[in-house]
Amino acid sequence: MWHASGMRIVVCVKHVPDAQSERRFEDGRMVRGEDDVLNELDENAVEAAVSLVEEHGGEAIALTMGPEDAEDALMRALQMGADRAVLVTDDRLAGSDVVTTAAVLAAAITRLGEEAPVDLVITGMASLDAMTSMLPAALATRLRLPLLGLAHALDVDPQSGVVEVSRSADGYEDRLRAAAPVVVSITDQLNEPRYPAFAAMKAARSKPLDQWGLDDLASTPGGADLAERIPATRVVEAHENARDGAGTIIADAGDAGVRLAQYLLEVVK
Ligand SMILES: Cc1cc2nc3c(=O)[nH]c(=O)nc-3n(C[C@H](O)[C@H](O)[C@H](O)COP(=O)(O)OP(=O)(O)OC[C@H]3O[C@@H](n4cnc5c(N)ncnc54)[C@H](O)[C@@H]3O)c2cc1C
C-alpha cells in the first residue's frame, strides 16, 4: 500500500550530447558540454513518473550523475513536471563506467530513501551516447530490487503496491509483476512525452534542485567507497563511423516509382 501522500518515484535521467547535432570527438573521446541535452529516451521516463504522480499523488524526483552542466537535463525534467531534482557531481566521477554510475545512483537513491521510502525507480531504455542499456540492471542489483525491464506498458496498483509491465521481445509478449519497491526501465513506446508549457518552464525555476558530491554520500550505505572506485571499463577510443557517400537520391518527377524499381533491379543484379 502506498503512503497516504501517494507514490515516491525517482526517475534517472542522463545528460548526453544532442543526437541531432554534430558530435565531435577529441583525443578519441566524445566531446561533452557543447550541445548536451536531456537524453531523449529519458523524456519518456520523466513522462511516466509525472503521469503516475498526477494519477496517484506523491512526488517525482529527477536524479542524474554527471558534470555540473547536467543541471540542464534536470531543469528539463522539472519543466516536464518533476517536483524536485538531484544532481550528483564530483570531479572524481569523470569517466565513470556503468558499474560505478550504478553504485553512485544507488547511494543517492538510498539517501533519498532515508528521507521517506522510495516506491519506484524509473529509467529510460538506453542513453543515446554510450547505449550500453546496462545501467538499469546494474542499479537494480546495487539496490537489491527487482527489475522490470523494457516496459511498453506500466500499471501500478496503489492498494496492493504491485507493479505490472508489458514488454515485447522477439515476436512474443511478456507480462511481468513485482511488489514495490522496484526498478522499471521503459521504452519510448510507453508514452508521448509532453512539451512543457511556458508556465511550467517558469515554475520549474523555483523547484528544488540539490547538488550532492561524493562526500554527501559517504555516510549513506554503499556510499563510503565511491571515491576510491576505479572504473573497470574505460573508453579508449571513440570515432564517428565513416558514411560511404550520400547514397542515391531519386527526386520524384512523377516517375519515382519506376526509377526506384529500375535502381533496385540494378542493385540486385
Ligand atoms: C561512447 C561510450 C561508450 C561507453 N561504453 C561503456 C561500456 O561499454 N561499459 C561501461 O561500463 N561504461 C561505458 N561507458 C560509460 C557509461 O556511459 C556511463 O557509465 C553511463 O553513465 C552509464 O551507461 P550508459 O550511458 O550506457 O547507460 P544505459 O544503460 O544505456 O542507460 C539506461 C538508462 O540509465 C539511466 N542513466 C544512464 N546514465 C545515467 C546517469 N549518469 N545518471 C542518471 N541516469 C543514468 C537513464 O535513465 C538511461 O536511459 C561508455 C561511455 C561512452 C560515452
Fold for the domain defined by 7-228:
Rossmann fold (3.40.50)
From first to last of its 269 residues, what are the pLDDT tens digits of the chain?
566 678 999 999 999 988 777 667 776 666 766 778 999 999 999 999 999 999 999 999 999 999 999 999 999 999 999 999 999 999 999 889 999 999 999 999 999 999 999 999 999 999 998 899 999 999 999 999 999 999 999 999 988 999 999 999 888 999 999 999 999 999 999 999 999 999 999 999 999 999 999 999 998 888 888 888 877 887 777 777 776 666 788 888 899 999 999 988 888 87
Beta pairing partners, 123: 185
CA-proximal residue: ligand 1, atom 12 (nearest): 97
Peptide bond preceding 221 in cis form (omega within 30 of 0): no
**Which of 14, 27, 87 to mutate to test ligand 1, by most ligand atoms within 8 A of the CB atom?**
14
C-beta 87 within 6 A of ligand 1: no
CA atoms 135, 138, 144, 149: torsion sign: positive
Residue 72 cell numbers, joined: 540542464
Å from CA of 233 to ligand 1 middle: 11
CA-proximal residue: ligand 1, atom 1 (nearest): 130
Q: How many C-beta neighbours within 10 Å does residue 113 have?
A: 18
**Where exactly are the structural domains of the chain?**
7-228
Atom of ligand 1 nearest to the CA of 238: 1
What pTM was computed for the model?
0.90
Residue 7 cell numbers, joined: 507514490
